[in-house]
Structure 1
Amino acid sequence: MESLKYHRLQQRLGYTFVDQKNLQLALTHRSHGATNNERLEFLGDSILNFVIGEALFKKFPEAKEGQLSRLRSQMVKGETLAHLAREFAFGECLVLGEGEMKSGGHRRDSILADTVEAIIGAIYLEAGLDSCRDRLHSWYAERLAALSLETTVKDAKTRLQEHLQSLQKPLPEYNIVDVNGEAHAQLFTVECKIATLSQSATAQASSRREAEKQAAAAVLARLGL
């Protein structure tokens, strides 16, 4: 049953691992033990940023650095990677520790996103950069085709900062209000304060950065922006 599950996943990925242990390692979360996919995730993150950056550089020869950076950020962010993982049905193949299994870790965006990066790293180690590039171009084909320079929308933190700068007001203050959960599944509650609002806005997410963005978006909504 296990081999059939892996076989189907590789069909969806469009790549069959020569050594199935590489695939199993890429699917193994750190909650399962010391032998896990963290190193592969680190490698895959670097390759993903390079390959998508290269693709955007070629697709938009007239784009400025800031536009390319925002487009790449949109393509490689955790939410996009989690969507990819769900398209490939990674969840059913993940190797998780007992705690993560009970808490629904196979559905958690951060775990799914990290696993995509680990898979990329594993393909690179086994088959090289050209194979990684080929797979990523295939996985991202529809998303890349749908992009235009008009989609380089600035994130909420940037928009809020630029709005306050235009009014010559102090920049936003972001403070961590609370951190809950185990080390591998933390939730950050962040508060965003600005001088023009008497009441701050808070948001919760699986990373400090994402919580700050959501808190900034809540402030923008209160400002009617």
Structure 2
Amino acid sequence: MKDLKEHIDDVQRKCSYYFKNTDLLLQAFTRKSYSAEHGGENNEVLEFLGDRVLDFYVTKVIAERYGFFKSQTDTYDEQEDNDEYCIKAHRNEQDFTELKKEIVSNANLAKRIEELGFKSMMYLGQSDIDNKVWTQEKVKADLFEAILGAIAIDSDWDPDELQNSVEFMLQIDDQLHDVEDGMDELKENLTQDNAVSTLKELAESGRCSIPQYDIPDEQVYDDGEYWWSCTCYVRSWSIQKTALSKSKKSAKRYAAYLVLCDFFGIEPEEE
């Protein structure tokens, strides 16, 4: 194990924050087992604070990068549309809950502690040494959060310092998936079942106009059977497709799928 006091400047540089009270940084690296044997405070309270800091600022960064008002999109109609707030979808989901969970997960925080080289600088009591706790994911994640808690106290909760440290320590640009250029992923994951939601997602993120669906009240007779018909039209792409199916829902789904297949240039599968 390394003595943190001998590497404190390097640690502060890697946190992108220089402490006025370096005792707080030492506390962030101090496990309860060590303080029980040697006295002083441990990092549990700082970890609690850092957990809240991490959750808030990761959410804030996501909102700043991928949130938008409908008035900012090319498809906004000032006369017809409300100026609502939206966030671009991720992996065909309606929000960024899973992405945020991924970024703040113990696995990801532990990985960053490894990459920063901090795990070998913790102050450990004998029980922790015997159990080799520095190898445990949760212990390393707790250290990450405790460092943020220490920065919060030392900076008097300075929002700029906190957001900078969160982004810098997480290397958040590498963590965030490229939502803007995620068309290949949407194309690869396209199915008939997710076609309506995928088309809605593209419209909400400003990549196409809002799809228009026309489902007549009467069924149509074709090839000896009655079918429900649905026409899907995306004005900004100049694409219109009509589908026939046994239910209104499936007709709408397949019409959206045909539009997307045309847009992506792929051969549609039969319903």
Amino acid across the alignment from 1:132:
L
Please tell me whether the aligned partners of residues 16 and 165 of structure 2 are also in contact (alpha carbons under 8 angstroms).
yes
Q: CA deviation at 1:66?
A: 5.1
CA distance in 2, matches of 1:52, 1:87: 19
CA-based RMSD:
2.3
Give per-residue Cα distances to partners, 1:6-26, cap 9 Å, x unaligned: 222222222221111100111
Contact 2:50–2:145 (CA<8 Å) still a contact in 1?
yes
**1:79: which partner in 2?**
107
Q: Give 1:35-50 correspondences, 5 Å limit.
A: 35-50=41-56
- Distance in 1 (alpha carbons) for counterparts of 2:149 and 2:159: 10
* Aligned length, in residue pairs: 151
2:148 equivalent to 1:123? no
Give the TM-score normalised by structure 2.
0.51
Cα deviation, residue 111, structure 1: 0.7
Structure 1 pair 112–141 and aligned structure 2 pair: CA distance change class (3 A): same
Question: 1: distance between equivalents of 2:65 and 2:175?
Answer: 9
What aligned pairs does 1:1-225 form with structure 2 within 5 A after superposition?
Answer: 2-33=4-35, 35-61=41-67, 62-63=87-88, 67-127=95-155, 128-139=158-169, 140-148=171-179
In structure 1, C-alpha distance between the alignment counterparts of 2:146 and 2:46, rounded to whole Å = 4
Question: Gaps (5+ residues) in structure 2?
Answer: 68-86, 183-271
1:204 alignment partner in structure 2? none
Tell me the distance in 1 between the aligned counterparts of 2:147 and 2:23: 12
Deviations 1:156-179 (A, max 9, x none): xxxxxxxxxxxxxxxxxxxxxxxx
The Cα shift of 1:2 comes to: 4.6
Unpaired stretches in structure 1, ≥5 consecutive residues: 151-225
> Per-residue deviation at 1:70?
1.2
Pair 1:66–1:43, CA change in 2 (3 A): farther
The answer to whether the Cα contact below 8 Å between 2:16 and 2:164 also exists between their aligned partners in 1 is no
Mark the CA change 1:147 to 1:119 in structure 2 (over 3 Å): closer, same or farther. Answer: farther
Identity percentage over the alignment? Answer: 25
Amino acid at match of 1:87: E
Mapped to 2, the partners of 1:7 and 1:106 lie a distance apart of 22
Q: Give a deviation string over 1:108-138, Cα, whole Å, max 9, x none.
A: 1111100100100110111122201011122
How big is each residue's C-alpha offset from its partner over 1:12-47, in whole Å with a ceiling of 9 and x where there is no partner?
A: 222221111100111111222352111111111011
Partner residue in 2 for 1:178: none
Q: Give a deviation string over 1:34-63, Cα, whole Å, max 9, x none.
A: 521111111110110000001111222233
| SS across alignment from 1:28 | coil
Give 3-state SS (helix, strand or coil) of 1:33's partner. helix
- State the Cα distance separating 1:96 from its structure 2 match: 1.1
- Taking structure 1 as the reference length, what is the TM-score of the superposition? 0.61
Amino acid at match of 1:50: F
Asked if the contact 1:29/1:111 (under 8 Å) is kept, the reply is no
SS in 1 for 2:95: helix
Query: Is the 2:47–2:145 contact (alpha carbons within 8 Å) kept by the matching residues of 1?
Result: yes
- Which deviates more, 13-22 or 70-79? 13-22
Query: Which structure is larger by alpha-carbon Rg, 1 or 2?
Result: 2
CA 1:124–1:106 in structure 2 vs 1: closer, same or farther (change >3 Å)?
A: same
Distance, in Å, in 1 between the alignment partners of 2:101 and 2:24 is: 28
**2-side partners of 1:79 and 1:57: how far apart?**
23
Summarize the Cα distance change of 1:67–1:88 in structure 2 as closer, same or farther, 3 Å threshold: same
Q: Mean Cα displacement is larger for which, 27-36 or 37-46?
A: 27-36
AA partner of residue 6 (structure 1): I
Deviation at 1:145, TM superposition (A): 4.5
